[in-house]
């Protein structure tokens, strides 16, 4: 137990910010108390001041001065004593004061002269003051000690700073991404040998001109069919680009000069194209015969978003209304969903057809159940975004996972669990989000952006680490669509170009296995009847 007590005493002594709790009173404090009781004269205090001690004890050559040696009664004998000192005496004499000259053969300074603590105390305390001033000086001494303690233990202070710059570090430009972030964010426990990441081409593999492509954020002007045909709306006309043969066919042109195509969407089989226009109509076109099968009216504003759910085509208009059209029956309008106060710009059914996600210019994201009829409220009305919600996309491998993106004032990617209506994750992209696509091959998503970078960004999910940025467009990306094999992304931008990015190259072995499995599954079809 003794060594534990010794360690505790040593720790108390080594503390710089407090007086030791145990132990004798320091010698300099005892001397100060004795001097107060004896009322030492001013001359004595002057003699014992550090300045006079330094001047009188040591000369310029570093040796004690003779005047100071006399005052301190410490002398060096001129001759070595002939006889050895007797017991009980200092230099062999009967008493230590009889022979001052023979006190020793070396210089032994007075202990008080070498007491640095006492010297420092006398420098900071003036002994000419009365008792009240002495008490004030004691308080100043405590403040001095406290200040020293704070400087020595500044690492323990909350608001201390070792270095501080007069000017703050300049902020990075909007949309800046540090490519070396992975060097600092990698795990220490990660294995030394890691698989190399796949190579993603940084340039588009193909660029097509799209003259008169409307630079309107709220429209959906391109869509890719399951038969590998890309539909593109160029103001009044719709063109079809065959990705297999690379041929371009003209499908339709609206008759009115002020009319324009505002949205396009393919049915799952890829043979029927739904076309929405600025007059509020939804037309169904057979691409094989290039004939209009049906013209469905009902909206009083332009149709900016379309999507299919088996035999139901859903349209969102500029008035904020959403209509369900049953293409099997003559009376096609079967339901109206009303919860948006401004135009609907994002619309997508979940892969299993259970939920419908709609985003509007009122900054609201609504999730509707498939059984929702006219007049019923949405399953969830989410108001977290601070700008228009155009980008909505469902996860292909998780039924209840929905992603959404906000416009310029928001710039956030959000992920939702629609069964509970909770936000699972939020990511600040730094740019306007116009569209989102989920990869079929990798646990990744790709987002299209407008101001300020006009880029496409690939993200890992669920970590949301940025994989790469794909740049090339000189204006904001308006919309994107994925090829039927899931490897290529087509992006349409305000610079009137279509760019094709080979982002999600598949493994050959996995691709063969998937093609075999896909042949066993039946695609979505018009189960209950034909289009009338």
Q: Which residue has the tokens 């001359």?
A: 43
Residue at token pair 């600040």: 428
When pLDDT is cut at 50, 70 and 90, the band that residue 501 belongs to is: very high
Q: What does the pLDDT look like over 298-335, one tens digit per residue?
A: 899 999 999 999 999 999 999 999 999 999 999 999 99
The two three-digit tokens of residue 517, written as one number? 């499995």
pLDDT, tens digit, 9 for 90 and up, residues 37-54: 765 455 544 555 555 555
Close Cβ partners of 275 (under 8 Å, ≥ 6 residues apart)? 233, 238, 252, 261, 263, 264, 282, 283, 284, 285
Q: What is the pLDDT averaged over residues 388-410?
A: 94
- The fraction of the chain above a pLDDT of 70, given in percent, is 65
Helix (H, G, I), strand (E, B) or coil at 14: helix
| Residue 94's pLDDT band (cuts 50, 70, 90) | very low
Q: Are 389 and 345 in contact (CB under 8 A)?
A: yes
Whether residue 345 is predicted with pLDDT greater than 80 in this model: the reply is yes
pLDDT of residue 448: 96
Can you tell me the distance from the alpha carbon of 368 to that of 353, in angstroms, rounded to the nearest whole number? Answer: 11
Contact 368, 380 (CB under 8 A): no
Regarding predicted confidence, which is higher, 510 or 226? 226
pLDDT band, very low/low/confident/very high, at 77 (cuts 50, 70, 90):
very low
**Residue pLDDT, tens place only, 258-267:** 999 999 999 9
Please identify which residue in the block is written with the tokens 């799209």.
Answer: 210
């050895």: which residue's tokens? 84
Q: What integer pLDDT is reported at residue 144 of this predicted model?
A: 78
Q: Which residues pair with 341 in a beta bridge?
A: none
Mean model confidence pLDDT for the chain: 78
Residue 148 banded pLDDT, cuts 50, 70, 90: confident
The stretch 353-378 carries a mean pLDDT of 93
Q: How far apart are the C-alpha atoms of 229 and 490, rounded to whole Å? A: 12
Region of poorest pLDDT, from 31-35, 345-349, 378-382: 31-35
- pLDDT score at 257: 87
Average pLDDT over residues 348-366: 95
At 78, list the tokens: 């001129």
With helix as H, strand as E and coil as C, how does 100-117 read?
Answer: CCCCCCCCCCCHHHHCHH
Structure tokens at 353: 């057809």
Question: Over 433-444, what HEC string results?
Answer: EEEEEECCCCCE
The whole-number pLDDT of residue 131 equals 56
How far apart (Å, rounded) are the C-alpha atoms in residues 204 and 477?
Answer: 14
Query: What's the confidence (pLDDT) of residue 70?
Result: 45
At residue 212, does pLDDT exceed 70? yes
User: What pLDDT, in 10s, does the model give residues 52-72?
Assistant: 555 554 444 444 444 444 444
- The model's pLDDT over 193-209, given as tens digits with 9 standing for 90+, comes to 444 467 899 999 999 99
Q: Report pTM.
A: 0.62
At 187, the pLDDT band (50, 70, 90 cuts) reads very low
Instruction: Inform me whether the pLDDT recorded for 268 exceeds 80.
Output: yes
**pLDDT greater than 70 at residue 404:** yes
Give the span between the Cα atoms of 352 and 399, in whole angstroms: 7
Residue 413 has pLDDT above 50, yes or no: yes
- Predicted confidence band of residue 358 (pLDDT cuts 50, 70, 90): very high
Token digits of residue 433: 């989000």
For residue 370, which of 344, 391, 346, 349 has the smallest C-alpha distance? 349
């Amino acid at each position: 137990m003794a060594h534990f007590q010794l360690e505790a005493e040593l720790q108390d002594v080594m503390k710089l910010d407090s007086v030791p709790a145990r132990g004798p009173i320091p010698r300099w404090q005892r001397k100060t108390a004795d001097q107060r009781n004896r009322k030492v004269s001013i001359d004595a205090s002057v003699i014992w001041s550090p300045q006079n001690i330094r001047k009188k004890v040591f000369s310029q050559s570093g040796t004690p001065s003779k005047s100071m040696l006399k005052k301190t009664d410490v002398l060096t004998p001129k001759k070595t004593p002939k006889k050895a000192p007797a017991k009980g005496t200092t230099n062999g004499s009967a008493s230590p004061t009889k022979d001052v000259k023979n006190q020793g053969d070396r210089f032994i300074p007075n202990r008080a002269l070498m007491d640095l603590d006492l010297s420092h105390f006398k420098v900071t305390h003036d002994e000419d003051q009365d008792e009240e001033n002495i008490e004030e000086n004691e308080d100043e001494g405590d403040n001095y000690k406290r200040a020293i303690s704070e400087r020595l233990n500044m690492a323990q202070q909350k608001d201390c700073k070792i270095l501080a710059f007069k000017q703050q570090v300049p902020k990075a430009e909007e949309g800046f991404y540090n490519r070396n972030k992975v060097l600092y964010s990698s795990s220490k426990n990660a294995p030394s040998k890691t698989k190399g990441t796949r190579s993603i081409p940084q340039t588009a593999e193909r660029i097509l001109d799209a003259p008169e492509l409307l630079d309107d954020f709220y429209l959906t002007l391109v869509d890719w069919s399951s038969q590998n045909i890309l539909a593109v709306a160029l103001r009044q006309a719709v063109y079809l680009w065959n990705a297999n043969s690379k041929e371009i066919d003209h499908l339709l042109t609206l008759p009115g000069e002020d009319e324009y195509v505002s949205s396009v969407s393919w049915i799952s089989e890829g043979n029927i194209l739904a076309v929405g226009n600025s007059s509020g109509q939804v037309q169904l076109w057979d691409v094989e015969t290039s004939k209009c099968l049906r013209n469905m009216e009902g909206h009083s504003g332009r149709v900016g978003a379309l999507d299919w759910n088996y035999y139901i085509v859903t349209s969102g208009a500029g008035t904020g209304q959403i209509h369900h059209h049953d293409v099997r029956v003559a009376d096609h309008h079967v339901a109206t969903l009303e919860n948006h106060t401004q135009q609907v710009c994002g619309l997508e059914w979940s892969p299993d057809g259970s939920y419908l996600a709609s985003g509007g210019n009122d900054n609201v994201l609504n999730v509707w159940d498939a059984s929702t009829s006219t007049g019923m409220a949405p399953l969830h009305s989410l108001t977290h975004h601070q700008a228009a919600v155009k980008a909505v996309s469902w996860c292909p491998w998780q039924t209840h996972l929905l992603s959404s993106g906000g416009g310029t004032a928001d710039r956030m990617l959000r992920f939702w669990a629609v069964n509970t209506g909770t936000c699972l994750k939020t990511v600040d992209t730094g740019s306007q989000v116009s569209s989102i696509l989920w990869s079929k091959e990798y646990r990744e998503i790709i987002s299209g952006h407008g101001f300020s970078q006009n880029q496409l960004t690939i993200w890992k999910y669920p970590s949301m680490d940025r994989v790469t940025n794909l740049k090339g467009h000189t204006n904001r990306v308006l919309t994107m669509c994925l090829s039927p094999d899931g490897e290529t992304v087509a992006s349409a931008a305000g610079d009137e170009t279509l760019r094709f990015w080979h982002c999600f190259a598949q493994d050959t072995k996995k691709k063969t296995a998937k093609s075999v499995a896909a042949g066993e599954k039946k695609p979505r079809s018009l189960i209950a009847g034909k289009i009338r």
